[in-house]
Amino acid sequence: MSEERKPRFAIFGFWEDNTVQIRHFSTLESVGLTKVQMSHVPRSIVMWSFGASNDNVHLLVGTGSGQLVSFKVNTTRILAVDMSSRRSISLGDRPVHLQICVVDNKSVVIATSIRTVIISCSNGRITQHHINVKVG
C-alpha cells in the first residue's frame, strides 16, 4: 500500500494588503522568502511543478484585474520566490481563475478570464498556449 501524499505548504492570498504568502501546512508559519506583494487582489493561486523534477516549480497568481502573474520558486535549500523571474500577461479585465488538469497525459494549468490560456512545460520552460473557447 502506498503512503498518502500529504501537503507540506499552504498558499494564501490576502485581499487586505494584496499579498501572497506560502506557509507550512501544519503550523501556518511563514516559509523562507515567500511573501509576494501584488498590485491587485490575488483571486486564484497555484504552486505547481511543471515536469518530472522539483527544479521547475512556479507560483501562478490570477488577479482580480485579469492579470496572470508567474514566479519561479527556488526549492533547493530554503523555499524562496524568485522575484526577478516575474512574468505577467493580461487575460482581460475580469478575475483570472486557475485550474490544474491533465491534457495528453501531461499536467497543465488552465487560466481563464476574458481570454483562456493553457500553461505547460516545454524544454524546462513554461509556455503559454492561447486557445479560443466557444460556448454553444
> For 55-69, how does the pLDDT look when each residue is reduced to its tens digit (9 = 90+)?
778 899 999 999 999
Q: Please tell me the predicted confidence (pLDDT) of residue 52.
A: 63
pTM of the model: 0.86
| Residue 90 within any structural domain of the chain | yes
| Residue 2 within any structural domain of the chain | no
Distances (CA, A) of 70 to 2, 5, 55, 110, 125: 33, 25, 15, 13, 12
Domain that holds residue 39: 9-131
Distances (CA, A) of 55 to 4, 74, 87, 99, 125: 23, 8, 18, 21, 11
Report how far residue 90's alpha carbon sits from residue 130's, in angstroms, rounded to the nearest whole number: 12
Helix/strand/coil for 24 = strand
| Residue 61 within any structural domain of the chain | yes
| Residue 68 within any structural domain of the chain | yes
More confident residue, 1 or 45: 45
Q: Please tell me the predicted confidence (pLDDT) of residue 1.
A: 41
| Residue 136 within any structural domain of the chain | no
126, pLDDT greater than 50: yes
Q: Please tell me the predicted confidence (pLDDT) of residue 96.
A: 96
Identify the band that residue 107 occupies on the pLDDT scale cut at 50, 70 and 90: confident
Identify the band that residue 3 occupies on the pLDDT scale cut at 50, 70 and 90: low
Domain total of the chain: 1
| Residue 1 within any structural domain of the chain | no
Q: How far is CA 89 from the centre of its chain?
A: 13
| Residue 4 within any structural domain of the chain | no
Q: What is the CATH number of the domain that holds 65?
A: 2.130.10.10
More confident residue, 2 or 11: 11
State the average pLDDT over residues 48-59. Answer: 77
Residue 91's contacts (CB-CB under 8 Å, 6 or more residues apart) are 62, 66, 67, 68, 111, 112, 113, 114, 115, 116, 117
